[in-house]
């Protein structure tokens, strides 16, 4: 079992916040991104952070968005869509979304929403 599986989301979350804020993005945008991926409400997300939920339990409780399969690309040189372990793939999805947010990608693109041509 990989060490990240038993790591609490709350211990990594401040690093996500720092990463996105350093690039001019907000904690609210980060939270929206996490909620989109996991299906959690803000209250559920905060409860998991307060409880020190591990990544394994966090993603076990999550109802992943059907659009998660649209998350592709590399994180730490690894193609997220090729990660075999389902839990590790979900963690990499989250890492990829945080990276995209920090790189200034429009929130609609990060959340895989179709462009509005209306």
CATH of the domain at 22: 1.10.8.290
Q: What distance in Å separates the CA atoms of residue 83 and residue 36, rounded to the nearest whole number?
A: 21
Answer yes or no: is 22 within a domain: yes
Answer yes or no: is 112 within a domain: no
Answer yes or no: is 75 within a domain: yes
Answer yes or no: is 43 within a domain: yes
Answer yes or no: is 114 within a domain: no
Answer yes or no: is 52 within a domain: yes
Domain count, the chain: 1
Answer yes or no: is 4 within a domain: no
Q: What percent of the chain has pLDDT over 90?
A: 87
pLDDT at 110: 93
Q: What is the mean pLDDT of the chain?
A: 93
Q: Please state whether the predicted TM-score (pTM) of the whole model is above 0.85.
A: yes
For residue 33, which phi and psi values (nearest 5 degrees)?
-65, -45
Q: Residue 30: give the domain boundaries.
A: 9-106
């Amino acid at each position: 079992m990989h060490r990240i599986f038993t790591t609490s989301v709350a211990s990594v979350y401040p690093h996500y916040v720092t990463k996105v804020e350093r690039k001019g993005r907000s904690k609210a945008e980060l939270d929206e991104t996490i909620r989109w991926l996991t299906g959690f409400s803000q209250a559920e997300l905060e409860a998991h952070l307060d409880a020190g939920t591990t990544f394994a339990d966090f993603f076990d409780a999550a109802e992943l968005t059907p659009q998660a399969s649209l998350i592709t690309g590399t994180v730490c040189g690894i193609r997220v869509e090729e990660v075999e372990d389902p839990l590790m793939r979900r963690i990499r999805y989250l890492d990829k979304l945080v990276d995209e947010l920090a790189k200034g990608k429009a929130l609609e693109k990060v959340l895989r929403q179709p462009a509005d041509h209306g």
